[in-house]
Amino acid sequence: MDTHLIDLDADLRDCIAQCTACHQACTELVSHCLDRGGEHAARAHINLLLACADICRTSADTMLRQVPQHAATCRACAELCTACADECARMGSDDPVMQRCAEICRACAESCEEMAG
């Protein structure tokens, strides 16, 4: 379903899609990690996932609104996504779901870094 109602350049559209995917992945990973328990359900890890999901959404919406300061929200998003990717990769060497989330976070971080310029 095409939901693009206004013209945005392709790089911006791609970064919005990455942020939307990463918001959803981190939100889903909270459930997965709470089910696993242990360090996966530790306060610092769950709160990092939640904060990452949150800034991903804000970053996507700021780009959708074509606000010139979207570089600032993309920069913050890249930093949170990188932290999430590192942590998920480290904690999830035996867990394909964690690895998949790490990949999605890494791709979003790279896309946001480019948008931040």
Amino acid identity of residue 13, one-letter, is R
Q: Which is nearer to its own copies, 67 or 114 (CB)?
A: 67
Q: Nearest distance from residue 88's CB to its own copies, in Å?
A: 10
Q: How far apart are CA 4 and CA 10, in angstroms?
A: 11
Q: Nearest distance from residue 114's CB to its own copies, in Å?
A: 17
Q: Which is nearer to its own copies, 89 or 97 (CB)?
A: 97
Of 95, 96, 101, the closest CA to residue 48 belongs to 101
Q: Nearest distance from residue 36's CB to its own copies, in Å?
A: 10
Q: Which is nearer to its own copies, 34 or 90 (CB)?
A: 34
| Residues near its own copies (CB under 8 A) | 1, 3-6, 16, 20-22, 24-25, 27-32, 34-35, 37, 41-44, 46-48, 50-51, 54-55, 57-58, 61-62, 64-70, 72-73, 75-76, 79-80, 83, 97, 100-101, 104, 107
Give the CA distances from residue 46 to residues 2, 21, 23, 51, 57, in Å, rounded to whole numbers and listed in that order: 33, 18, 14, 9, 17
Q: Nearest distance from residue 33's CB to its own copies, in Å?
A: 9
Q: How far apart are CA 59 and CA 99, in angstroms?
A: 23
- Give the distance, in angstroms, between the CA of residue 42 and the centroid of all CA atoms in the same chain: 19
